[in-house]
């Protein structure tokens, strides 16, 4: 395992396609991206997160000629692409030296195409999930990328475990969980069982109720939540793994990361 999975992995959301102030948002993206890299963390760029049509991380890196430094950049890649666009993204990653991918099934949208099994030369499967996409990348781009996968402790445990084993068989090298608050026993079991780096996801928004859909039950809007305290607890509870920071506030929270001293 060549990567430094112990550093902070900080999510950077690319601008949406319909942004009216596109240039402003692209500049902001570039500034945040550089800030993450300058701090010695890994910039993790989402792929049409929540089904919102956004620009690809690799194309913004190319357009803005942003630096890529070994394991300091990670691109999310999901199954809602045409085969041509999928290969264009992967080739663009190779050209720019991006080695780390988080391979996920992803969120759809009526405008997004969806990879078909025949696109990836597969027979006998009804749809393309993260497993099939991972198999394809490892087959067609063998040894080029370090591929991670997602783990959802809020799904039925047995099914999620089975999926995880398939992902590992398909060549997953690291795992990032869905957001967990302080600790999670199902994640604990996963860490004890598998021999891969597991990064736990910290929810950095104060609006905890936004996680309701993810965890599968209603979290009241007025729930008090201190993301920085939760981050500290996660670090204390999971000292041997890394932390992935989602929905981070760059104005108020970013500078606190160095004080927390994970990097």
Partner 1 sequence: MKIVVCVKQVPGTTEVSIDPETKRLIREGVSIEMNPFDTYALEQGILLKEKHGGELIVLSMGPKRAELTLRESIACGADRGVLLNGRPLGGSDTYATSYILSQGIKKIKDVDLVICGKQAVDGDTAQVGPGIAAHLGWPQVTYVSKFVESGETELKLERMHESGSDLSVVKLPAVLTVLKDVNIPRIPTLKGRLHSRKVDITIWDEKDLETDPEKIGLGGSPTRVVSTRKPDARDKHTIVLKGSASDSARELMKILKSRLEL
Among 113, 122, 183, 233, binds partner 1 (CB under 8 A): 113
Nearer to partner 1, 90 or 204 (CB): 90
Of the ranges 3-11, 48-56, 67-75, 120-128, which one interacts with partner 1 (CB under 8 A)? 48-56
Q: Considering Cα of 29, then 134, then 131, then 42, what sign does the dihedral take?
A: negative
Q: 153 with 125: CB under 8 angstroms?
A: no
Of the ranges 65-73, 111-119, 159-167, 214-222, which one interacts with partner 1 (CB under 8 A)? 111-119
CB of 146 to partner 1, least distance (A): 25
**Interatomic CA distance for residues 242 and 7, integer angstroms:** 6
CB of 63 to partner 1, least distance (A): 5
CB of 15 to partner 1, least distance (A): 9
CB of 157 to partner 1, least distance (A): 25
The residue among 154, 187, 204, 149 whose CA lies nearest residue 8 is: 204
DSSP secondary-structure letter at 261? T
Q: Which of residues 51-110 bind partner 1 (CB under 8 A)?
A: 53, 55-56, 59-60, 63, 82, 85, 110
**Interatomic CA distance for residues 239 and 229, integer angstroms:** 15
Bridge partners of 201, per DSSP, are 179, 244
Of the ranges 50-58, 169-177, 234-242, 244-252, which one interacts with partner 1 (CB under 8 A)? 50-58
Task: Work out whether 17 is an interface residue with partner 1 (CB under 8 A).
Answer: yes
Across 95-121, b (16+ Cβ under 10 Å) vs e yields: ebebbbbbbbbbeeeeebeebeeebbe
Bridge partners of 101, per DSSP, are 75, 147
Nearer to partner 1, 127 or 249 (CB): 127
Site residues for partner 1 per CB under 8 A: 17, 22, 26, 53, 55-56, 59-60, 63, 82, 85, 110-113
């Amino acid at each position: 395992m060549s990567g430094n999975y112990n550093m902070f992995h900080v999510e950077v959301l690319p601008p949406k396609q319909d942004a009216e102030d596109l240039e402003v948002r692209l500049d902001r993206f570039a500034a945040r991206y550089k800030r993450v890299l300058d701090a010695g963390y890994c910039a993790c760029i989402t792929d049409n997160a929540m089904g919102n049509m956004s620009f690809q991380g690799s194309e913004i890196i190319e357009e803005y000629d942003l630096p890529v430094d070994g394991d300091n950049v990670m691109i999310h890649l999901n199954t809602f692409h045409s085969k041509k666009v999928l290969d264009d993204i992967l080739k663009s990653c190779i050209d720019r030296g991006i080695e780390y991918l988080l391979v996920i099934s992803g969120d759809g949208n009526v405008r997004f195409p969806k990879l078909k099994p025949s696109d990836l030369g597969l027979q006998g499967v009804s749809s393309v999930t993260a497993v099939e996409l991972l198999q394809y990348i490892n087959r067609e781009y063998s040894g080029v990328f370090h591929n991670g996968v997602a783990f959802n402790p809020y799904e039925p445990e047995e099914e999620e475990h089975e999926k995880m084993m398939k992902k590992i068989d398909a060549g997953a090298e690291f795992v990032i969980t869905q957001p967990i608050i302080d600790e999670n026993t199902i994640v604990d079991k996963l860490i004890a069982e598998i021999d891969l780096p597991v990064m736990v996801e910290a929810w950095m928004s104060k609006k905890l109720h936004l996680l309701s859909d993810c965890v599968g039950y209603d979290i009241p809007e007025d729930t008090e939540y201190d993301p920085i305290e939760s981050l500290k607890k996660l670090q204390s509870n999971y000292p041997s793994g890394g932390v992935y920071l989602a929905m981070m506030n760059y104005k108020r929270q970013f500078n606190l990361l160095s004080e927390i001293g994970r990097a």
